[in-house]
Structure 1
Amino acid sequence: MEPRETRGTREALIAELTNDTGYWGMVGNDQNLTQAVDGVSALADGAASVRVGHTVYVVDESTDSA
């Protein structure tokens, strides 16, 4: 399966992944939960993209002010 791509500002992607951690915890998907938590940290540290499950979250440099 090809990964889906989600683009946005660093802040928006961090917010989305932070919100998703609650979902992954609720459904018991520990792998995606760990990837989401690690992804939030990586984006906060300046990563250009992270992958959680089948989705790649890409910082859209044209809209990112960080």
Structure 2
Amino acid sequence: MGWFSQLFSNEQIPPEISPGKNDPCWCGSGTKYKKCHLLKDKLYFKEHPISKKKTPKKNACGPVFG
């Protein structure tokens, strides 16, 4: 088992939308997010990028007259 997989060995996968730095951590430890999982999550999302769905561009209703 590699060092990276040991960080998340208990099957805790970070949420796609991370909390703010001073919010409680998503893992339920009771500590601030910046002291608990901030660096681990940055490494995780660097290795596992989120695939964003492409949303179609909205067309303008009509020409703009000034």
TM-score, normalised with respect to structure 2: 0.32
Larger Rg: 2
Higher strand content, 1 or 2: 1
